[in-house]
């Protein structure tokens, strides 16, 4: 466990974006963003930015790019990955991504299906945007944290490769 904990605590700077029309209008509290802040800190990562935006492609893209340009290596989004008509997070990310990393979404769905049959509806994904790794996680706080946990081991290496940092292995 010590090796695992060390391998995921490299100096990862995180940006967190909650994507929700209702939370951005103040109709309910954002619980997903704070849950991801807590999880990130437990992994030893530094949260450098967090935001709450409506389900609008331009707002999602603008915020994501701002956070990456502010130094975030990893962007965690929560919300907008379901099948509702307003769920546009994957589309927003794909429009500005350099490449998609399908293994992340596959792993999140595969593990989530062990918990709930509704995971088959998830459109969670990962992509490279500029030099940042973007993970689009479910809107439900427990689902977002669980999905992050399912892929956490691959994150440091991916960020190292994106930033051309030599690995110690």
pLDDT of residue 126: 98
| Residue 93 falls inside a structural domain | yes
Contact between residue 37 and residue 72 where contact means Cβ atoms under 8 Å apart: no
| Residue 14 falls inside a structural domain | yes
DSSP 100-150: E-HHHHHHHHHHHHTT-GGGGG---EEEEETTEEEEEE-SSHHHHHHHHHH
CA distance 37 to 18: 11
pLDDT of residue 164: 79
pLDDT of residue 166: 55
| Residue 151 falls inside a structural domain | yes
CA distance 142 to 165: 32
| Residue 27 falls inside a structural domain | yes
Angle subtended at Cα 158 by Cα 7 and Cα 64, rounded to the nearest 5 degrees:
115
| Residue 120 falls inside a structural domain | yes
The stretches in the chain having pLDDT less than 50 are 1-9
Q: Which domain holds residue 151?
A: 2-162
pLDDT of residue 2: 40
Contact between residue 79 and residue 139 where contact means Cβ atoms under 8 Å apart: yes
Q: Quote the tokens at residue 30.
A: 């954002």
| Residue 15 falls inside a structural domain | yes
Q: How many domains does the chain have?
A: 1
First to last CA, the chain: 17
CA distance 50 to 57: 17
In sign, the C-alpha dihedral spanning 107, 16, 85, 56 is negative
pLDDT of residue 4: 43
| Residue 169 falls inside a structural domain | no
pLDDT of residue 82: 94
Question: Whose CA is closest to 110, among 102, 120, 101?
Answer: 120
CATH number, position 134: 3.40.980.10
pLDDT of residue 1: 38
pLDDT of residue 43: 97
pLDDT of residue 9: 46
Q: Quote the tokens at residue 28.
A: 């309910």
| Residue 92 falls inside a structural domain | yes
Question: Whose CA is closest to 63, among 16, 97, 30?
Answer: 16
């Amino acid at each position: 466990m010590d090796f695992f904990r060390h391998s995921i605590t490299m100096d990862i700077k995180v940006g967190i974006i909650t994507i929700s029309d209702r939370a951005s209008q103040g109709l309910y509290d954002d619980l997903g963003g704070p849950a991801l802040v807590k999880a990130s800190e437990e992994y030893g990562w530094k949260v450098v930015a967090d935001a709450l935006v409506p389900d609008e492609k331009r707002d999602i893209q603008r915020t994501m790019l701002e956070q990456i340009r502010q130094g975030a290596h990893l962007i965690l989004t929560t919300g907008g990955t379901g099948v509702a008509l307003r769920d546009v997070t994957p589309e927003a990310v794909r429009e500005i991504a350099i490449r998609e990393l399908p293994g992340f979404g596959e792993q999140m769905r595969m593990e989530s299906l062990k918990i709930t049959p509704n995971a088959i509806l998830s459109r969670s994904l990962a992509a490279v945007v500029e030099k940042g790794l973007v993970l689009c996680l479910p809107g439900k706080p427990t689902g977002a944290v669980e999905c992050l946990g399912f892929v956490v081991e691959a994150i440091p290496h991916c960020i190292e490769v994106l930033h051309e940092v030599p690995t110690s292995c």
